[in-house]
Structure 1
């Protein structure tokens, strides 16, 4: 990592630690909440369909910053597993929309529940002072995310 003269070493250390800690937490959350062993792109596509509703391959690819061909492979696997289905586009007969099936909705619900249960249990193992510190850090993390 290039060192900036105007940035104190402690800021660089905080950046590195924050990146490592958030990455580790995200990997752990994914591992604890993915009993179906979906790939990261499959989970992201399901989450996006759950949040935004039926959409095209191209729109999903744009939203996830991947090539349409890559998204097509991801959607084909999800469709084969019965997690999504094709629907006709309401205004353009040349396009197809992808939507969650009942099974897809259930998988998303289960993943969200497992993620929250694991995180709640992990937080419960922290001492009260660590819990207060983490609660205070949430607002700082939100501000970073909004900046």
Structure 2
């Protein structure tokens, strides 16, 4: 591998393909990625307004409203009146929504663990080091200003 640009291209392609393969493993509801992402955000962050969810996901509010409504219809989320702003609602995860997130993550982890078992101990060590470096890159460490 020569330049940083060449490495960037190789990593981008490998990460994108890996991510697609991992995301293809879903829970029983077979939710589209945008719906699953909202459930995962609600599990991590707790109840949020549709506007806050739209901000986190970088989508327009009407798009998020449709996503939230679909999750409510499926029984994975609920909407309740905002405690201080009568014009807003707060979206919360239901037990079924939490179960769907946990099952999807379990299936994805199982698929990846199966692939990792086929590697040598040294290859797994290399991937562990790469994972740490990728987390640093994602966190913006070492960015040029």
* TM score, norm. by length of structure 2: 0.89
Q: Offset at 1:83?
A: 0.7
The higher radius of gyration belongs to: 1
Number of residue equivalences: 140
Partner of 1:99 in structure 2?
92
Could you tell me which runs of 5 or more consecutive residues in structure 2 were left unpaired when the two chains were aligned.
none
Which of 18, 39, 45 aligns to 2:38? It is 45
Structure 2 distance, partners of 1:94, 1:139, is: 43
* TM score, norm. by length of structure 1: 0.88
Partner of 2:49 in structure 1?
56
CA gap of 1:35–1:10, structure 2 versus 1, over 3 A, is farther
Q: Offset at 1:10?
A: 2.3
Q: Offset at 1:9?
A: 5.7
Q: Does 1:28 align with 2:21?
A: yes
Partner of 1:133 in structure 2?
126
Structure 1 distance, partners of 2:137, 2:69, is: 36
Which of 62, 66, 74 aligns to 2:67? It is 74
Q: Offset at 1:48?
A: 0.9
Partner of 2:58 in structure 1?
65
CA gap of 1:9–1:136, structure 2 versus 1, over 3 A, is closer
Which 4+ runs in 1 deviate beyond 4 A? Answer: none
Match of 1:97, SS? strand
CA contact (8 A) 2:75 2:97 kept: yes
Match of 1:32, SS? coil
